[in-house]
Structure 1
């Protein structure tokens, strides 16, 4: 079950116009790959953004005890991050990124397990901008204009949303991945097949044996990077993409989404849930964790 909803730019604008009792806070979650020199926070402060936005740093609100880049935070870390931004439990949060739907699905997924009551993913910034809706281009000095708050989430559903490393290895060793699960990997096909290097040079390319590729770009509009509007359209896009890759996601089986570090895996997780499939979880450590913790015999390169 998805813990957030997709919101079209028009519905977002309509929501802003009619809501009079609660704050609507756009949350900019723009993030770039480590081999990209751009600075997302600097661009937020000096460039364009949705009006009244705050900037959520997904490199900061995470499990800081883990050696892996983007692991779901504990409650204390999450509450501290939300409080520093001045956010409140009764805020309506609308998550977006200025790439399109790249890092914002990860941000909205990070917030989702803490059961924020009104949580949306904007679908998406590029569509919003091309429609001519308002943008803020004033220079900012802070990532939020709100005073520090006391955000309190007192529980987390992460145990239900996250698949741990041990489960993945167990499935590989038993050979049960494809009989029991759909495991889909959002990385580029050449990385999945071991033909191109990973962005982090210490990590070999390849894939979890039994996993299928689902490059995240294939579930988004090639121009706007938006998800198809309806579940029916999303399912058609998903089926077309997997058919071209030589397989089909079995709706009767639970699905595990993964990628390099848990960022783009959330793009395909959102797509699969938007298409109406149930029981979709994220392998949060993803390829970065898996490839560093197993020996070469548990790394596949050829597709079967």
Structure 2
């Protein structure tokens, strides 16, 4: 079950207009791959944003003890980050990124992990902007104009939503990964097959033995990078992609989604849940953790 709902730009604008008792707060969570050398935080302040938006930094509100980037934060770190943004438990949060649907699913999922009552994923900013809806282009000095709050989440669903490295190792070494799970990887096919370098230096390309590729770009609509609106359309898209790649996803088995560092893995997690898959979890450390912790015998390159 997804921890957030998809919302179209039109429905978002209507929600803002009709909601009178709670704040509807847009949450910009734009994040770029490190090899692009772009500064999403500076862009939030200097370029454009949806009116009244705050900026959620997935590289700031994270597990500060982990050597891997933007891993799931603990309760204290999450509550502190949300409080600094001035957010409240009864806010309706609508998450987006200026790329389209890239880092926003990761942010929406993180907020949903801590059981925020109302979380939406905007589907998406490109369509919102193209439709001529209001944008704020003034220069900003901070990531939020709301006063500091006392945000308090008291639980996390991480134990149910996140699969740790050790569990994946056990499944691979026992040979049970494909018999018991669908393991799908959101990275581009050339990276999955070890044909091109990873964007992060010193990390070999390849894939977890027993995984199948599900490149995130192929589950989104071309151009606008939106998720297909209906469950049927989403299921059909996934079926088309997997058949083209020579496999099928068994809906009776639980599914584990992964990627490079747990960002685009949430895109395919969102797609699968939108398509009706009931048991989809995220390998948070994803390929970066796997490649750095596993020996060469646990790195596959050929499709099997």
Determine the C-alpha separation between the residues in 1 that align with 2:248 and 2:135: 40
Provide the residue aligned with 2:188 in structure 1.
188
Q: What displacement does 1:108 show?
A: 0.5
1:78 corresponds to: 78
Residue 6 of structure 1: CA displacement?
Answer: 0.5
Q: Quote how far apart the aligned CAs of 1:179 are.
A: 0.6
> Matched residues in 2 for 1:77 and 1:141: separation?
23
1:246 deviates by 0.6
Alignment correspondent of 2:3: 3
SS at match of 2:120: strand
1:96-148 CA distances to partner (integer Å, 9 max, x unpaired)?
A: 00000000000001111100001100000001111111111111111100011
Q: Which residue of 2 aligns with 1:222?
A: 222
CA contact (8 A) 1:7 1:122 kept: yes
* Aligned mates of 1:113, 1:139 — CA distance in 2: 32
Q: Could you list the runs of 5+ residues in structure 1 that have no partner in the other structure?
A: none
Q: 2:272 maps to what in 1?
A: 272
C-alpha separation in 2, matches of 1:65 and 1:222 = 38
- Determine the C-alpha separation between the residues in 2 that align with 1:292 and 1:139: 40
- Shift of residue 70 of structure 1? 1.9
Matched, 1:43 2:43: yes
Which stretches in structure 2 are left out of the alignment for 5+ residues?
none
* Cα root mean square deviation, aligned: 0.6
| Alignment partners' CA distance in 2, 1:86 and 1:54 | 9
SS in 1 for 2:35: coil
**Under a length normalisation based on structure 1, what TM-score does the superposition of the two structures give?**
0.99
Over 2 Å off, 4+ runs = none
Measured in 2, the distance between the counterparts of 1:135 and 1:248 equals: 42
Q: 5 Å matches for 1:140-289?
A: 140-289=140-289
Distance 1:147 1:271 in 2: 35
TM score, norm. by length of structure 2: 0.99
Aligned length: 304
Q: 1:90 and 1:25 mapped to 2: Cα distance?
A: 11
